[in-house]
Amino acid sequence: MITVTCVQLAPVAGDGAGNRARSTAAVAAAAGADVIVLPELTTSGYDFESVEQARASAITADDPVFDDWARAAGGAVVVGGFAERDENGVLRNSAMLVDGSGRRVRYRKTHLWDEEALYFTPGDESPPVVDTRAGRIGVIVCYDLEFPELTRSLALRGAELLTVPTNWPLVDRPEGEHPPERIIAMAAARVNRIAVACADRTHLEGGRRYTEGTAIVDANGWTVTEPLTGPGSVTARIDLGVARDKRISTRNHLFDDRRPEIYR
Amino acid sequence: MITVTCVQLAPVAGDGAGNRARSTAAVAAAAGADVIVLPELTTSGYDFESVEQARASAITADDPVFDDWARAAGGAVVVGGFAERDENGVLRNSAMLVDGSGRRVRYRKTHLWDEEALYFTPGDESPPVVDTRAGRIGVIVCYDLEFPELTRSLALRGAELLTVPTNWPLVDRPEGEHPPERIIAMAAARVNRIAVACADRTHLEGGRRYTEGTAIVDANGWTVTEPLTGPGSVTARIDLGVARDKRISTRNHLFDDRRPEIYR
């Protein structure tokens, strides 16, 4: 069993120092967990006023904020989103995984949502699956989750826990329903038998309302955390042993049952 | 807008005449709909006592029951499951689509669930997507739904409404949650913008309890019918125009946004 904490906070575009301080404080508050997930674009905020503001908020993958997170985490694996300025000066909507060993694994979001395309260039590499002390952790960002081929591919590559820094704009849903992105996360968990940890932001920025959909889904596909409004965090104990066994009946195995030759 | 009706009934293993009469009566009761969906193995029942009973309950694809359904349907497209004895005498867990034109399109379930493998041989062909008066209709059976690559492939091939004859054994779920198969259906609908119509059976047969999960999910991924206990049906008006437009934001298109080179 591992302890997973997803942090819901309110990054502010243009306030890099504040975003760094708030995110590091949130990691420190979650220390003791095995895995801590922060939202998409935690260091930069989401609602940029201009390309110039987005560019000014971008940091490189060797920025000291990732050391701050690792130090504050007390040995936990931390996954969080940041606006990256890459080696060619190109902006990326990225996520970083850090742990107590000094390791850094970066992922560049491959499916950009709407106005993100004004600021960022999509990544061209498959998302990482990282062997950590806490288990095998996959990293994707927000809209990536809505491509079931992608979540399947991460599961086939051994991901047991999918971490999803996200900024989900609020959309309509029927009374009593989960947010649609949550339903997609639950289905991805269920069909792949992997846990999914989504850290969303809150809506304190600009005119845009966010879903505040932070939640942890276990490897059977059930949401095991309570809804969270405003800044805070949710924590759950998760058994990744479930994710390592894909047998779902006497004769069925989630992966061996696949018929790729049929999926065309 | 089309009208879709999903029938929930209780086929009985070994009572072929009764199953034929009940299914045809249910189709007649639903006449006026554009699409009528019956459960998996409607003509045979599910809980066979022996291979011999399964074999005795199997019919060929030119069985007159399909004419009965087509006649009773008043012009609707009917999709329903049956135990098939194929041209080589091999048993298949199949579904048939019929309409008022005399057309028959058969599909053989490619992903068998547990003890079904004792009786049936899986099919080797991709599920059909059929152009009908009501729209482009895909046909899969039960556990097939749990392979997101398959549902994606049907959507990419133009399916606007996915019909799913099913027999869902009841499994545990948290209080207030949809059945897990429903969540998978809702996610498949949402990520592909297709409607999904699931016809489940009820639990009047043998010792096995069924989910009674009959439901219609619209192309935005929301369940638009009420829960149904026991025999009966659910009906919904569905706008398949939604399914024909995959643009989900100013800059996003569910299919064009795919990055297949990344899904490896």
Model confidence pLDDT, tens digit, residues A171-205: 999 999 999 999 999 999 999 999 999 999 998 66
Looking at beta carbons, which residues of chain B come within 8 Å of A259? Answer: 110-111, 122, 147, 150
pLDDT above 80 for B134:
yes
In the structure, what pLDDT confidence band is assigned to residue B206 with cuts at 50, 70 and 90? Answer: low
**Cβ contacts of A57 within 8 Å, gap of 6 or more:** A13, A14, A16, A43, A44, A45, A48, A83
pLDDT above 80 for A157:
yes
Looking at beta carbons, which residues of chain A come within 8 Å of B191? Answer: 146-148, 184
The CA distance from A70 to the nearest CA of chain B, in Å, is: 29
Q: Give first-to-last CA distance, chain B, whole Å.
A: 38
pLDDT above 90 for B203:
no
Dump pLDDT digits (tens) for A56-77: 999 999 999 999 999 999 999 9
> Average pLDDT for residues B191-213, to the nearest whole number?
91
| A250–B124 CB contact, under 8 Å | no
Q: What secondary structure letter does DSSP report for B146?
A: G
Q: Distance (Å, rounded) from C-alpha A235 to C-alpha A199?
A: 11
| A183–B173 CB contact, under 8 Å | no
At residue B41, the pLDDT reads: 98
The CA distance from A161 to the nearest CA of chain B, in Å, is: 17
| B250–A148 CB contact, under 8 Å | no
At residue B264, the pLDDT reads: 84
- Among residues B75, B64, B65, the alpha carbon closest in space to that of B36 is found at B75
Looking at beta carbons, which residues of chain A come within 8 Å of B220? Answer: 180
Number of Cβ pairs < 8 A linking chain A and chain B: 130
The CA distance from A28 to the nearest CA of chain B, in Å, is: 32
Check: CB of residue B82 under 8 Å from CB of residue B105.
no
At residue B102, the pLDDT reads: 87
Q: Distance (Å, rounded) from C-alpha B62 to C-alpha B77?
A: 17
The CA distance from A111 to the nearest CA of chain B, in Å, is: 7
Burial of A241 (0-12, 13-18, 19+ CB in 10 A): exposed
CA A170: distance to chain centroid?
Answer: 17
In the structure, what pLDDT confidence band is assigned to residue B100 with cuts at 50, 70 and 90? Answer: confident
This complex has an ipTM of 0.97
- Among residues B205, B35, B257, B41, the alpha carbon closest in space to that of B132 is found at B35
